[in-house]
Structure 1
């Protein structure tokens, strides 16, 4: 293992996480009005109605799969009676379906931005960079799921990549676990850190502004205005 490997898998993650946290604080202090989705729904709605649900539901499923695969140790699922074969089948087929939904939704949203002139004019340089990195990230994820695990010989990332990832939060990342991982996994991890680092400077900050409080907000009572005839006023 070289010094480059140590820097790549032991230092880069902390740089990305630092930029992620500090960047959000900076963005909130200097650009609160920009903390929004910059929605283009009024400019075009038909493609958005198709692409947005596909993308977001696929994204939620992908995130759930990453949480289960990276943060939950294999020993825990084994203790629950889930065999390696069952877990592998659920992870591969579930990940493939979620990834396809996310890719289809993303393709529709990108096509919408390219084809519709009014929407295209609202796309900033940072939007273009963000979408580019996101496309690469999703494609690499599908290469892992379909290319390596479904069509290839498979790879037990829970014994290597997942252990390395959890070690980051213990301040003990074992870079050697990533050195031997397949190239698709290495590239996916690196692009993910790039994506995390650029997050605070994109429209993605709106993810932290979901109006969850509306779930507990009391109902608003509207009263009908009494129709008093004008001639009856004094």
Structure 2
């Protein structure tokens, strides 16, 4: 019978990712009217601009860093001469820098959503829940930097990389073996991340799929003054 570690880190990730992909497809197919960010800019714009820019800059850099850092095999880093300890120090520095930027933006956005009566009235429970869960996930990530600083050999980071890569290649048994002896703070960070994937199709986060990439190649619009 699978133990709790196997259930949480060997089975739950696949459930979360399956719901993430299939749920997004079903929502797009059946409920496209809700496929939007539900922008509250018309209700208040000054605080939104201040928090939104910082949040998106921080979160995009963090997600990109996680994707590259965790999904790239360690042999690639070894080949370019980047040792685990150096890679860990670099990840801590960049993660901390962009994490603080994201934290600043999210603090403004949460305060705005919870304290502005008009915005609060136009916010669903899921809007608030997702915002608070992302905030908690960000805080866990920032706290984990202090734990990482206590062991700069990069070995725990290698276990996390191995867990991600073995999960992607459907080697659940090896993935569980990798994660079993990782610190609690990292396990909580992973579990909350998987939970965000699970909730993704049921929230406004689906607008991520609609990022306007075509704008990068679109012809300039000519706007003439009267």
Same structural fold, with TM-score higher than 0.5 when normalized by the shorter chain: yes
- Aligned counterpart, 2:217: 216
CA deviation vs aligned residue, 1:185-230 (integer Å, no higher than 9, x gap): 11111111100000011001111112212222334567999xxxxx
Give the C-alpha shift of residue 2 in structure 1: 5.4
Q: State yes or no: 1:189 paired with 2:190.
A: yes
Q: TM-score, normalised to structure 1's length?
A: 0.88
CA distance in structure 1 between the partners assigned to 2:156 and 2:131 by the alignment: 27
- Aligned counterpart, 2:95: 95
- Aligned counterpart, 2:151: 153
Distance 1:80 1:122, change over 3 A: same
- Aligned counterpart, 2:167: 168
Residues 84 and 155 in structure 2, CA contact (< 8 A), matched pair in contact too: no
The answer for unaligned runs of 5 or more in structure 2 is: none
Residues 24 and 201 in structure 2, CA contact (< 8 A), matched pair in contact too: yes
CA RMSD of aligned residues (A): 2.0
> Which residues of 2 match residues 4-43 of structure 1 at below 5 A?
4-43=4-43
Distance 1:87 1:43, change over 3 A: same
Q: SS of the residue aligned with 2:123? A: coil
Give the C-alpha shift of residue 24 in structure 1: 0.6
Q: TM-score, normalised to structure 2's length?
A: 0.91
> Which residues of 2 match residues 54-69 of structure 1 at below 5 A?
54-69=54-69
